[in-house]
Amino acid sequence: MTQNIMIVGVGGQGSLLASKLLGRLMMNAGLDVKVSEVHGMSQRGGSVVTYVRAGEKVYSPIIDVGEADYIVSFEILEAARNLKYLAPNGRIVTNTQQVAPMPVITGEAQYPENLAEKIAAAGAEIDAFDALSLAEQAGSSKAVNIVLMGRLSRYLGIGEAEWLKALEETVPPKFLEINKKAFMLGRNAT
Amino acid sequence: MLGNEAVARGLYEGGVAVVSSYPGTPSTEITEYVSKYDEVYSEWAPNEKVAMEVAFGSAFAGKRSFCGMKHVGLNVAADPLFTISYTGVNAGMVIAVADDPGMHSSQNEQDSRHYARAAKVPMLEPADSSECLKFAKLAFELSERFDTPVLLRLCTRIAHSQSVVETGERVEPEMRTYNKDQVKYVMMPGYARIRHPIVEERMRALTEFAETTDLNRVEMGGRSIGFITSGTSYQYVREAFGDSVSILKLGMVYPLPVKKIRDFAASVERVVVLEELDPFIEEHCRAIGVNVSGKDIFPIVGEFSQNLVREKMGLPVPQGRALEEAIPPRPPVMCAGCPHRGLFYALVRNKATVLGDIGCYALGANAPLFAMDYTICMGASISGLHGFNKARGEEGEKRAVAVIGDSTFMHSGVTGLIDIAYNGSNSTVIIADNSTTGMTGHQPNPTTGENIKGDPAGKVDLAALCRAVGIRRVRVVDPYNLKECEEVIKEELAASEPSVIISRRPCALLKTVRHNPPLRVNVEKCRGCRSCMKIGCPAISFRDKKAKIDNTLCVGCGVCTQMCAFDAFESESGEGAN
């Protein structure tokens, strides 16, 4: 069985490090892994999507509509935008932070309200929490990505030691302590 | 390993000695990764044509070489490509070209395979990172064996996907002897006429190679459908069908085999060609009398995916949920603190017609500034402006400007400026000098004073260069200063001779840039007039009829303070900001 994890957010939020961590974790578990990223223009504050796929043998580098087992979202509007990618039994793990897109800033559009409730009402499992506060608690607002990975780790059935090993292998040494703290906060905070 | 990193590793293992490229999404990281190998000389060239000629010079001299570019970069480098196809190489030469189906970060969706056919050079196409490494390495052997440059075609989903690779050792080929050989390398008509038949003979030999090489492999499964495919499309077939179909997977997409395709077609009931963009393989199949489906089923535009294959082939397609609510789009924007913002606002104030170019500043076209009238290709802002002004005369000269970045100006802007100086239009050219190549991820360029390894290097003085080509009016402005910017643009539009305005301020994302603390809004002073919203800063939004600053994004550039008539923006210390 191939496991499909989508990481969605706003360009510049750190999804590349999160996907690198997941890729390493899955590779360490002896799985075939494909991670697909988007670079260039989309990174300038636009919607970004990263695909992580792991299994015995992975072919396509992308995750299509109705295929994602998990959608990890840095920003709740992006979770809503990508809801169609969620598999029937999939789960959304999302930061509740709101980042207004330009049409909202300029007043052309409204930022939708109560998105977590609406996503749940559409029949999707959703775990929405304030990852930004936990990241700040860990020592850096930039650690939101690792807080989210900590939260995801509750569901994936891979042991804490394996996660921490993958973290050590992907994060630069000088940021390791903050990121370990961020991971544990994401994993354990209620 | 990222596809691009795997190409870099394959080049390294294949004994590459000289690498010269120009950055372009999705090809950039190949050269960035190569630059980390100390055994390899690597550089960013001013443009792709220069890069390809540098790489050819090395192959001609006797050492293996490489240049990499995005699809549109190959248009720039097409001139040398068509003739080095005639000369062939001495040591191996590999050219990577990365297509961008779906246009994630490009201005068109061209299919580079046409270049292989037009220039008569072989082209390999890997389908994952492991093949990226293997094919890059093999390409050097093919290049030397068949005496030809070899194209390596990637697409976004291969270049920017990571998958598992196995690395090997570097071979260190000895420098090949250099012998003067005018008939082979001096492409005057008399010698080129001798070389052309040799090229045709080489293509015949390569076609024979295509019949037997395991680059083109048959994977037999169920015989009701046989797919002919390559690259990422191969992965989508496998994803959708598993091993229930048969596949002819082409690792070499030019020249294409004949017998192998006929035999494969004969072994299955129905043949479907699956390829993104143009019907390149499909037309070959039809030309050799093999009846196939292709673009009658699959689109010619955009990227493919496993669900598209499922849908078009009549398989069940997974369905997803959606909210009824409209989700506002999130287009890319100029970053908070982007120096281009002030410049574009000053252009809006001047009601300027803006001929744009390729780079982050193309985002000036988006809401709320809408400050761009055209974007075509690298350098076209300046030469197009000259033509615009020749057509419209003084009326054009008084309102139209070109906006081009520092790296793009080095790439192919300066030649347009020479045309303006030489053929005399009173054009106003603005160089948005942010001290880096921004959109592709901060590569140094000839104006930045450092090379690909971050070491000190030659530095082009933009103002001196503009003067040297004959522009007498060269002004430098700070785009954070709206008033100065607006006035200088007004003056130069009015001037009755050509002028260059250098709008100079480093990219706000550069690590070397020191920022001011974030600003905040004094809600007592803010009247909710929304003036500050006109500049489209992602750090400013509107809550409860007042402006609000996101202090995780704001870099304190102070452009918004110049928009506010009520001094509502303050620095953290509570002082009104500059």
Cβ–Cβ below 8 Å for A103 and B328: yes
C-beta contacts of B530-533 below 8 A and 24+ residues apart? B530/A107, B531/B563, B531/B564, B531/B565, B532/B560, B532/B563, B532/B564, B532/B569, B533/A105, B533/A106, B533/A107, B533/B368
Do B33 and B189 form a contact (C-beta atoms < 8 A)?
Answer: no
- Any alpha helices (H) in B513-563, and if so which ranges? 559-563
Which residues of A, range 80-119, sit inside 8 Å of B by Cβ?
Answer: 80-81, 83-87, 99-112, 115, 118-119
Do both B417 and B535 map to the same domain?
no
Note the pLDDT of residue A41: 61
- Residue A48, pLDDT above cutoff 80: yes
Is B162 in CB contact (< 8 Å) with chain A?
yes
> Which residues are A9's β-sheet partners?
A48
Q: Which residues of B touch A58 (CB under 8 A)?
A: 163
Q: So what's the pLDDT on residue B573?
A: 64
Looking at the fold, whether B206 and B223 belong to one and the same domain comes out as no
Write down which residue in B477, B504, B531 finishes a domain. B504
In B337-452, where does DSSP find H-type helix?
Answer: 339-349, 380-392, 394-397, 406-408, 414-423
pLDDT digits (tens, 9 = 90+) for B198-207: 999 999 999 9
| Distance from the A184 Cα atom to the nearest Cα atom in chain B, whole angstroms | 23
Buried b (16+ CB within 10 A) or exposed e, B186-213: ebeeebeeebeeebeebbeebbebbeeb
* Residue B318 to residue A65, Cβ atoms within 8 A: yes
3-state secondary structure of B77: coil
Residue of chain B nearest A65, judged by CA positions = B320
Instruction: Give the integer Cα–Cα distance in Å for A94 and A134.
Output: 13
Within this chain, do residues B443 and B538 fall inside the same structural domain, yes or no? Answer: no
Q: Is the dihedral of CA B266, B270, B275, B279 positive or negative?
A: positive
Do B117 and B235 belong together in one domain?
A: no
Contact criterion met (CB < 8 Å) for B330 and A10 = yes
Q: What are phi and psi of A69, to 5 degrees?
A: -75, -35
Q: Which of A37-51, A98-112, B52-66 has the lowest mean pLDDT?
A: A37-51
Mutate to test the interface with A, among B4, B234, B276, B327 (most CBs of A within 10 A): B327
Q: CA of B305: which chain A residue's CA is closest?
A: A64
DSSP per-residue codes, B427-465: -EEEEEE-SSBTTTT-B--TTTSB-TTS-B-----HHHH
From the CB of residue B244, how many other CB atoms can be counted at a distance below 10 Å?
11
Same domain, yes or no: B379 and B302: no
Contact A41 B236 (CB under 8 A): no
Question: Are the beta carbons of B162 and A33 separated by less than 8 Å?
Answer: yes
| A106/B540 touch (CB, cutoff 8 Å), yes or no | no
Give the DSSP per-residue string, A113-166: S-HHHHHHHTT-EEEEE-HHHHHHHHT-GGGHHHHHHHHHHHHH---HHHHHHH
B203-227 pLDDT per residue, tens: 999 999 999 999 999 999 999 999 9
Burial of B174 (0-12, 13-18, 19+ CB in 10 A): exposed
CB–CB of B530 and A23 under 8 A? no
Secondary structure (3-state) at B567? coil
Dump pLDDT digits (tens) for B266-305.
999 999 999 999 999 999 999 999 999 999 999 999 999 9
Of B29, B105, B320, the CB nearest to A86: B320
What pLDDT sits at residue A44? 73
Q: Are residues B120 and B246 in the same domain?
A: no
Return contacts of A23-30, CB within 8 angstroms, 24+ apart.
A23/A52, A23/B162, A24/A166, A24/A169, A24/A170, A25/A158, A25/A162, A25/A163, A25/A166, A26/A52, A26/A54, A27/B164, A28/A162, A28/A165, A28/A166, A28/A169, A29/A54, A29/A158, A29/A162
- How many domains does chain A fold into? 1
Is residue B281 one of the residues assigned to a domain?
yes
Task: Note down the domain range covering A48.
Answer: 3-188
Would strands B428-433 and B499-504 be described as parallel, antiparallel, or unpaired?
parallel
pTM of the model: 0.96
What pLDDT sits at residue A108?
87
Do the chains contact at A61 and B161, CB–CB below 8 Å? Answer: yes
SS3 B282: helix
Residue B26 to residue A40, Cβ atoms within 8 A: yes
**Is the confidence at residue B572, as pLDDT, over 80?**
no
B169-191 average pLDDT score: 97
- Cα B238 to Cα A187: distance, rounded to the nearest angstrom: 36
Number of H helices, E strands in chain B: 22, 21
Q: State whether A60 and B235 contact (CB < 8 Å).
A: yes
Q: What is the pLDDT, as a whole number, of residue B391?
A: 98
Please tell me the distance in Å from A176's CA to the nearest CA on chain B. 20
pLDDT in tens, B14-58: 999 999 999 999 999 999 999 999 999 999 999 999 999 999 999
Q: Are residues B220 and B187 in the same domain?
A: no
* Residue B158 and residue B59 in one domain: yes
Question: What's the mean pLDDT in B337-354?
Answer: 97
B457 by Cβ neighbours in 10 Å (0-12 / 13-18 / 19+) ranks as: middle
End-to-end Cα spacing for chain B: 47
Q: Which of B240, B239, B258 is nearest to B248 (CA)?
A: B258
Contact B539, B554 (CB under 8 A): yes
Instruction: Indicate the pLDDT class of residue A39, thresholds 50, 70 and 90.
Output: low
Task: Pick B323's closest partner by Cβ from A61, A83, A85.
Answer: A83
Q: Mutating which of A5, A36, A86 best tests the B interface, going by the most B Cβ atoms within 10 A? A: A36
Structural domain boundaries, residue B451: 339-504
Confidence of residue B578 (pLDDT cuts 50, 70, 90): very low
Q: Cβ–Cβ of A106/B363 closer than 8 Å?
A: no
Instruction: Look up residue A17 and give its two tokens.
Output: 């490090």
Query: What's the CA gap between B551 and B540, in Å, rounded?
Result: 9
Tell me what the mean pLDDT of segment B182-201 comes to: 98
pLDDT recorded at residue B367:
87
CA nearest to B321, candidates A84, A120, A79, A55: A84
Fill in the amino acid letter for B420: I
Say if B531 is an interface residue toward chain A (CB within 8 Å): no
Cis? peptide before B26, omega within 30° of 0: yes
Q: CB–CB of B161 and A109 under 8 A?
A: no
Is B119 part of any domain? Answer: yes
Tell me: do B347 and B480 sit in the same domain: yes
B306 touches chain A (CB under 8 A): yes
Residues of chain B with Cβ-Cβ distance to A111 below 8 Å are 328
- ipTM of the complex, rounded to two decimals: 0.94
B368 touches chain A (CB under 8 A): yes
Q: Phi/psi class of residue B273: alpha, beta or left (left: φ > 0; alpha: ψ in -120 to 50)?
A: beta
**Angle at Cα B152 formed by Cα B149 and Cα B156, nearest 5°?**
150
The C-alpha atoms of residue B358 and residue B571 are separated, in whole angstroms, by 35
- Please report the residues numbered 220 through 249 in chain B whose beta carbons come closer than 8 angstroms to any beta carbon of chain A: 232, 235-236, 238-239
Nearest CB to A46; choose among B305, B331, B533: B331
- DSSP for residue B413: I
Choose the final residue of a domain: B173, B195, B212.
B212
Both structure tokens of B2: 């990222």
Q: Is B96 contained in some domain?
A: yes
Average per-residue pLDDT in chain B? 96
Q: How confident is the model at residue B556 (pLDDT cuts 50, 70, 90)?
A: very high
CB contact under 8 A, A103 and B360: no
Across the A:B interface, residue pairs with CB atoms under 8 Å apart total 186
**Distance (Å, rounded) from C-alpha A63 to C-alpha A36?**
9
Q: Does A60 touch chain B (CB under 8 A)?
A: yes
Burial A51-76 (b: 16+ CB within 10 A, else e): bbbbeeebbbbbbbbbbbbbbbbbbb
Same domain, B396 and B489: yes
**A60-93: pLDDT as tens digits:** 999 999 999 999 999 999 999 999 999 999 999 9
- Inform me whether the C-beta atom of residue A120 falls under 8 Å from chain B C-beta atoms: no
Q: Which of A55, A22, A51 is nearest to A162 (CA)?
A: A22
Residue B511 in any domain: the answer is no
Predicted local confidence at residue A189, as pLDDT: 85
Same domain for B200 and B232, yes or no, is: no
Q: Are B320 and A84 in contact (CB under 8 A)?
A: yes
Q: How far apart are CA B84 and CA B151, in angstroms?
A: 12
Percent of all residues in chain A with a pLDDT value above 70, rounded to a whole number: 97
Per the structure, the count of domains in chain B is 4
| Interface contact A83-B25, CB threshold 8 A | no
We report the CATH number of the domain holding residue B271 as 3.40.50.920
Q: What is the CATH number of the domain that holds A78?
A: 3.40.920.10
* B100 and B145 co-located in one domain: yes
**B6 φ, ψ to 5°?**
-65, -35
Q: Tell me which residue has tokens 């994302």.
A: B509
Q: Do B541 and A64 touch (CB under 8 A)?
A: no
Does any domain span residue B136? yes
